[in-house]
Amino acid sequence: MYVILGATGHVGTWVADRLLDQGKPVRVVSRNIRRLKSCMIKGAIPFAGDISDDKFLSKAFAGATAVFSMIPPDLKTENLRLYQNKISDSIIKALKKSGVTHVVNLSSIGADLSEKTGPALGLHDHEEKLNKLENVNVLHLRAAYFMENLLNNIDLIKNKGFNGSAIRGDLKMPFIATKDIAEKAALYLSELNFAGKSVKYLLGQRDLSMIEISNIIGKAIGRDGLRYVQFSYDDAQKAIVDMGISEDMARSYIEMSRGFNEGWIYKGTERSPESTTKTSIEDFALEFCQLYCVGNPECQAVGL
């Protein structure tokens, strides 16, 4: 039995689908059972509840061989690291009670560092706790910046006519599609050929700058030459809060952006054939366009 946390999110949904397609027995966990229907149709066993409750998670993990571990984001939390550690502690307690032998853990670039990495700080804590578990084989997947995060800028592009964030426009860094993370996670879970405590980096198809990404997305949505603007940290943080995200989450995202800009998050991370995944930004730009084009007639220019 495989247990998938975050089964309604970008990565967890794909992991569950891949394992179900292979005929594996899958238990999917989410707070909302209605959002698990697509997995249930394929044969997944639903477990609806609060993953911060270790008693609930212990029941979800019971009889399982392997778990896909992740800490789902909470954009409203007033203390991100406290929230992350609450979820982490629940996962650790449940694993200790369950007899699970293998864990594939969704982590992040920067989780090797103990400061100045924003949301990756809680993932650093979670990695350390998982590494202390006895008789449990743990594989940490340190993934690059999600391409899907770019979707948050659709309204900005529509309303202002440019793309932007606090990240330097000329900075080349790895971007990855979440479905590629899921492909790798499902592979490692199905094979269970890892032992001890280990780390694998997932860095996307190639390194890109925000200026390059804006150009590629611009062509896909019929805005050739789409401009990229680097916002000040203060302006970017205010814009994030204005989107309804908590002050601490916004502060954390800006800390991460500063880490990208100043180079410490990716320091020492080298691309390899194993860490390189298949989805290109050109492929993702077509997905971006489909969402951007909802109710937007100008997108018909790209023929979607």
Would residue 274 count as lying in a domain? no
Q: What is the predicted pLDDT for the residue at 293?
A: 86
Mean pLDDT of the chain, nearest integer = 92
Sign of CA dihedral 30, 36, 40, 42: negative
Higher pLDDT, 129 or 266: 129
Mean pLDDT to the nearest integer, 137-147: 97
d(CA 234, CA 170): 20
Give the sign of the dihedral formed by CA 161, CA 166, CA 172, CA 173: negative
Tokens of 146: 């999600």
Residue 238, in any domain of the structure: no
Contacts of 106 (CB under 8 A, 6+ apart): 6, 11, 68, 69, 70, 141, 143, 181, 185
Asked, for residue 262, whether it belongs to a domain, the answer is no
Q: Is position 82 within any domain?
A: yes
Q: Is residue 108 part of a domain?
A: yes
78: domain CATH number is 3.40.50.720
Amino acid at 78: E
Q: Residue 10: inside a domain, yes or no?
A: yes
Give the mean pLDDT of 86-104: 96
Does the global pTM surpass 0.85?
Answer: yes
DSSP for 143-204, written as a single string? E-EEGGGGGGGHHHHHHHSEEEESS-TT--EEEE-HHHHHHHHHHHHHH----SEEEEEE--
Number of domains comprising the chain? 1
Domain carrying residue 13: 2-146+177-202
Does residue 303 have a pLDDT over 60?
A: no
**Structural domain includes residue 242:** no
Tell whether 118 is covered by a domain.
yes
